[in-house]
Amino acid sequence: MGTTQAGGGATVRRLLLGTQLRKLREARGVSREEAGYSIRASESKISRMELGRVGFKERDVADLLTLYGVEAEPERATVLGLLRDANASSWWHEYGDVLPGWFQNYLGLEEAAAEIRSYEVQFVHGLLQTADYARAVVTAGCHANGPEEIERRVDVRLKRQGVLTGERAPRLVAVLDEAALRRPWGGPGLMRGQLDRLLELGELPNVRLQVLPLGNAGLSAESGAFTVLGFAEAELADVVYLEQFTTALYLDKPTEVAEYRQAMDDLVADSLTPELTRDLLYAVRQEL
Which tens digit of pLDDT belongs to each residue from 111-168?
Answer: 889 999 999 999 999 999 999 999 999 988 776 578 899 999 999 999 999 999 988 8
Task: Kindly give the residue spans of alpha helices, DSSP state H, lying in the chain.
Answer: 3-28, 32-38, 43-50, 58-67, 73-86, 101-112, 131-141, 147-160, 178-182, 188-201, 254-270, 274-287
Number of domains in the chain: 2
pLDDT 10s digits, 219-247: 554 668 999 999 988 888 899 999 887 88
Residues 51 and 30 placed together within one structural domain of the fold: yes
State how far the alpha carbon of 59 is from the alpha carbons of 20, 49, 56, in Å. Answer: 16, 14, 9
- Shared domain for 109 and 63, answered yes or no, is no
Q: Are 116 and 172 in contact (CB under 8 A)?
A: yes
Backbone angles phi, psi at 71, to 5 degrees: -105, -25
Residues 119 and 71 in one domain: no
Radius of gyration of the chain (CA): 21
pLDDT of 2 reads: 32
- What does the pLDDT read at residue 1? 27
12 assigned to some structural domain: yes
Rounded distance between C-alpha atoms, residue 164 and residue 167, angstroms: 9
Determine the structural domain holding residue 112 and report its residue range: 97-128+161-287
> Are 117 and 188 contained in the same domain?
yes
Question: Does the pLDDT at position 185 exceed 70?
Answer: yes
Residues of the chain with pLDDT > 70, as a percent, come to 94
